[in-house]
Amino acid sequence: DAGVIQSPRHEVTEMGQEVTLRCKPISGHDYLFWYRQTMMRGLELLIYFNNNVPIDDSGMPEDRFSAKMPNASFSTLKIQPSEPRDSAVYFCASSLYGQPQHFGDGTRLSIL
């Protein structure tokens, strides 16, 4: 049974470039979450979707960040333009309502 799948696992890019992170949730899960983890701020919820609809994006740091969920099996988190302070590990998680979240192994993003 495949868990949450994120790609790429690692991304190194230069400041100003567009970055796209991808997530495939567990089949049948109707909630999808994007988190960012840094040493300074810990684990922060950026945005979450229910049935492909964004419910709360109050954690998205600024307009450079955007997230989409075109269908139940795919979501993207995009940063454009990227900045060095965006360097972090980005996690995607999925769940059923009221149930524990299942996390992917994350994308380690480094912006030079």
Partner 1 sequence: SQQGEEDPQALSIQEGENATMNCSYKTSINNLQWYRQNSGRGLVHLILIRSNEREKHSGRLRVTLDTSKKSSSLLITASRAADTASYFCATTDSWGKLQFGAGTQVVVTP
Contacting residues toward partner 1, per CB under 8 A? 4, 31, 33, 42-43, 45, 48, 55-56, 91, 93, 97-98, 100-106
Q: Rounded to the nearest whole angstrom, what is the least distance from the CB of residue 16 to partner 1 in the complex? A: 28
What minimum distance in Å lies between the beta carbon of 83 and partner 1?
22
CA distances from 39 to 44, 53, 87, 100 (A): 11, 30, 11, 24
Q: Between 19 and 106, whose beta carbon lies closer to partner 1?
A: 106
Question: Shortest gap between Cβ of 95 and partner 1 (angstroms)?
Answer: 8
d(CA 66, CA 97): 24
Residue of 12, 36, 8, 11 lying closest to 93 (CA atoms): 36
| 62 or 97: CB nearest partner 1 | 97
Q: Which is nearer to partner 1, 10 or 80 (CB)?
A: 10
Count the neighbouring beta carbons within 10 Å of the beta carbon of residue 32.
29
* Residue 33, both tokens: 């979450």
